[in-house]
Amino acid sequence: MATPLKVFYSCAKCPAYCCTYPQIPISKSDIRRLAKGFGISEEKARKRFTKKGEEKGTRVLRHRDDHIFETACTFLDPETRGCTVYEFRPSPCRAYPGTARCGYYDFLANERNRQEDPELVITAWVADV
Ligand code: SF4
Ligand code: SF4
């Protein structure tokens, strides 16, 4: 899906909730891109950065502990909340959210507005699926 021209969310003002999704699927070409970016073999990148997904035969991004959410993608900078592999990030990260709105950001922005706290962070939120 092409990125919409106008979007109603700001990743720069968000603690990167989407990077905490536990099952971000990683394809062979994503692993290839990561391996190239780090200058290591695909096998090493596969083992180092991904683990078995819940769905049989899939690989997902590894997590590590996070001080805001319980865990987050191993590539998320815990302080800046930015992606440390932005140039060679996996395809699901490039496509997300794929619409003009981000559900988490809508909720966060509403709560920040309602509670008059622009720094507020919502750690428990369930997407409407
Ligand atoms: S949750 Fe939404 S606003 Fe936050 S970083 Fe992800 S896409 Fe951006
Ligand atoms: S690779 Fe980057 S954009 Fe993708 S989940 Fe990890 S930190 Fe977020």
CA pair distance 106, 103, nearest whole angstrom: 5
Tell me, what's the pLDDT at 5?
76
Q: Which ligand is nearest to the CA of 26?
A: 2
Q: Give the position, in ligand 2's atom list, of the atom nearest the Cα of 24.
A: 5
**98 contacts: CB under 8 Å, gap ≥ 6:** 1, 3
List alpha helices for 14-121, DSSP H.
28-38, 42-49, 91-95, 103-114
List alpha helices for 13-90, DSSP H.
28-38, 42-49
Tell me, using a 6 A CB cutoff, whether residue 105 lines ligand 1: yes
3-state secondary structure of 71: strand
List, in sequence order, every residue forming a beta bridge with 71; answer none if it has no partner: 65
Average pLDDT over residues 109-127: 90
Q: Which ligand is nearest to the CA of 12?
A: 1
Query: Whose Cα sits closest to atom 8 in ligand 2?
Result: 19
User: Cβ(73)–Cβ(63) under 8 Å?
Assistant: yes
| Residues with a CB atom less than 6 Å from ligand 2 | 19, 24, 61, 73, 75-76, 83, 85, 89-90, 93
CA pair distance 98, 108, nearest whole angstrom: 18
List, in sequence order, every residue forming a beta bridge with 76; answer none if it has no partner: 83
Q: Which tokens hold the place of 49?
A: 């950065």
125 pLDDT above the threshold of 90: no
pTM: 0.91
Tell me, using a 6 A CB cutoff, whether residue 49 lines ligand 1: no
User: Cβ(122)–Cβ(108) under 8 Å?
Assistant: yes
Tell me, what's the pLDDT at 84?
98
The per-residue pLDDT for range 69-90, each reduced to its tens digit, is: 999 999 999 999 999 999 999 9
CA pair distance 19, 102, nearest whole angstrom: 13
Tell me, what's the pLDDT at 61?
98
Q: Which tokens hold the place of 74?
A: 């191993």
Tell me, using a 6 A CB cutoff, whether residue 26 lines ligand 1: no
* Rounded distance from Cα 41 to ligand 1 centre (Å): 30
